[in-house]
A and B are shown apart, each in its own frame.
Chain A
Amino acid sequence: MTNTKRFFGIMGFFLIIGFLLLAGCTTSEQKSAEKQPVNAYVAAGLKKPMDVVIAKYTNETGITVVPNYGPSGGLYTQISQGQPCDLYYSADYALIEKLEKEGRVAESEKFMKEFVVMTVSKTGKEKGLTRATDLTKENIVIAVADPSAPVGVYSENVLKNLNLWDTLNTKGNIKTRPSTVNQVALMVESDEVDAGFMYSSTAVLYKLETVEKYGYDLSEEIIFGDAIVKGGNEAGAKAFRDYVRQNSNEFTKYGWEMYA
């Protein structure tokens, strides 16, 4: 065989192997029904406790749970487009209601309560920031997530209901609108901003100083929900979801409250 033919032969070989591997990853495996893996789309904010629970579950039952972490809105879009998902944990129950309207949900429930909080960084504390109203002072640097993340929408609600939103924008104190709640937390933690608005659980996770916590009258209900998606591994999803509920202490230690 000539050198070029061999080159293309090898390339073609690897291409085919590559495609087969990819195909193998996306099609369900021919394991026994009980041992089928569970595809879970999980809101990014739940990563730490969820990883722990998944590890425990796999250890105890031998069943693999494959998590896909991301912003709840993006995950919603994927499920809505028909991507293979068995179980969906959303930081915004409204998205689950949307999926229900689309007829994609087999079972759903409200899972946990979350609250918007204001946290301050080292410099923020030095500047004496203790409440949202303090933020309208001069030269204050605030991080509020972009509305592409639900926490951004909730934070905006809080500030609008406190009649601070317009002032803060005209003053230009909201200097950054990152795309995830973790990015907001990162900025407060590294002291690049004075204050940031995030979930109470995020504040606990990043060990940040919370100065104010806002009720649902200001932010709107923030309910984490879970939904079993129709047409997937519903039995497996149900089993794992129940296991998560049993292990709710992994979550509440981060500051969430279970939805009774």
Chain B
Amino acid sequence: MRKVSIWEVLFIPLFFFLIVFPILAILGNVTVEGMTLTFGDPIFWIAVRNTLITAFIAALLGVLLALGFGYFYIFHPGTVMYQIADFMNDLPIALPHTVAGLALLLAFGRNVMGFVGPTGLAFTLLAVVLAMFFVSYPLAARTIASAAEEIDKELISVARTLGDSPPQAYRRVVIPLLGEAIFSAFVLGFSRSLSEFAAVIMFGGNVPGMTQVLASYVFTKVEEGEVSMAVTASAFCILLSLLLVLVLRMRGWSHARGAQSA
């Protein structure tokens, strides 16, 4: 019999016990009653729709800004601007989410942005997008920067000798080569946005049927004692996340297949 390595002995049981088991616990506790109540609740579906749309936009914004960060990383790493941006990348991650929400509220609420509307930018779907963006941008930026690090800087030099200005070289050479990383950054940002709720509640408003997101819907159901609905909604979130991961993997496979035929 083949000698089993310590990695296999430790990893398999720990992984199944600590990661897979809790997920199965949720999926296994879904009841018909829960499903009827939850899927019959229009507030639930509005939360689903709102969450998917806002998370998508937030992730897109995150990627765009992350590409901007990538530009500084490649062309102006010595500058103060870059140092500040690089430092700030870690901040939203370390900030407790309610604090992040409060920060956004104070910055974009009516006391500063009152001219935009009666609540400033706060308590709107835009606020939900901003809160999600705030917490997911750092992940996107790190992903892009890390991939940009891997690109051979000679390619940029060559592009420039062929007449490209730095922005042109970035657009024509760097961004296409970042390819996979851009997609990863988007998926990361999207997932992170889907699961964010403390910052979203503080700044977005959390009004059912208007600015409430799926994560907060689940939380409220738990606190209200509507366990069957909370479980169903959670199971829905889990399956959504699994779908996301599957999509990411499938792209990974098609890329591997593409590379093989070369």
Residues of A within 8 A of B (CB): 71, 73-74, 77, 123, 139, 141, 146-149, 172, 174-179, 183, 186-187, 190-193
List the 5 shortest-distance A-B pairs measured between CB atoms, nearest first: A148-B223, A176-B205, A175-B123, A192-B109, A73-B223
Q: Is the CB of A146 within 8 A of B202?
A: no
CB neighbours of B207 from chain A (8 A):
174-177
Tell me the minimal C-beta distance from A76 to chain B in angstroms: 8
B222 in contact (CB, < 8 A): yes
Q: Are B223 and A190 in contact (CB under 8 A)?
A: no
Q: Does B106 reach chain A (CB closer than 8 Å)?
A: yes
Cβ A73 vs Cβ B118 within 8 A: no
Asked whether, in the complex, the Cβ of A74 is within 8 Å of the Cβ of B223, the reply is yes
Q: Would you mind naming 16 contact pairs between A and B with Cβ atoms under 8 Å apart?
A: A71-B223, A73-B223, A73-B225, A77-B222, A123-B110, A139-B118, A141-B119, A141-B123, A146-B201, A148-B220, A148-B222, A176-B206, A176-B211, A177-B201, A179-B206, A179-B223
Given contacts A177-B206, A178-B206, contact A192 B105 (CB under 8 A): yes
Majority-rule SS of A interface residues? loop
Q: How many residues of chain B have a CB within 8 Å of chain A?
A: 29
Residues from chain B with a CB closer than 8 A to the CB of A176 are 122-123, 205-207, 211
> A175 to B207, alpha carbons, bound, how many Å?
7
B68 is an interface residue with CB less than 8 A from chain A: no
* Interface residue? B208 (CB, 8 A): yes
**A192:B206 contact, CB within 8 angstroms:** no
Closest to A139 in B: B118
Please tell me if B82 contacts chain A, counting CB pairs below 8 Å.
Answer: no
Establish whether residues B220 and A146, one from each chain, have CB atoms under 8 Å apart when the complex forms. Answer: yes
User: Which residue on chain B has the smallest CB distance to residue A153?
Assistant: B224
Contact A177 B205 (CB under 8 A): yes
Give the CA-CA distance A183 to B123 in the complex, in Å. 14
Q: Does B111 count as interface, using CB distance less than 8 angstroms?
A: yes
B181 at the interface (CB under 8 A from A): no
Q: A73-B225, A146-B206, A147-B224 are in contact. Are A179 and B219 (CB under 8 A)?
A: yes
- Other A-B contacts than A77-B222, A183-B201, A192-B122, 10 sampled, CB-CB below 8 A, are A74-B223, A141-B118, A141-B119, A146-B201, A146-B206, A147-B223, A177-B207, A183-B98, A183-B202, A191-B111
Question: Which residue on B lies nearest to A138, using beta carbons?
Answer: B118
Which single residue of chain A is at the shortest CB-CB distance from B225?
A73
Q: Mark B184-201, 1 if CB is under 8 A from A, else 0.
A: 000000000000001001
Q: How far does the alpha carbon of A174 sit from the alpha carbon of B219 in the complex, in Å? A: 20
A186 to B98, CA, bound (A): 12
Cβ distance A220 to chain B, nearest Cβ, rounded Å: 15
Within 8 A of A (CB), among B82-129: 98, 102, 105-106, 109-111, 118-120, 122-123
Q: Roughly how many angstroms separate A183 CA and B198 CA in the complex, as a whole number?
A: 11
How close is A111's CB to chain B, nearest CB, in angstroms? 21
Give Cα distance in the complex from A141 to B208, angstroms.
Answer: 16
Q: Considering only CB atoms, which chain A residue lies closest to B203 in the complex? A: A176
A190–B110 CA distance with the chains assembled, in angstroms: 10
Instruction: Establish whether residues B102 and A186, one from each chain, have CB atoms under 8 Å apart when the complex forms.
Output: yes
- B201 partner, pick from A77, A139, A178, beta carbons under 8 A: A178
Bound-state Cα–Cα, A179 to B119, Å: 19
Q: Which residues of A contact B110 (CB under 8 A)?
A: 123, 141, 191-192
CA A197 to CA B202, docked complex, whole Å: 16
B105 and A175 form a contact (CB under 8 A): no
CB-based contact B223/A192 at 8 Å = no
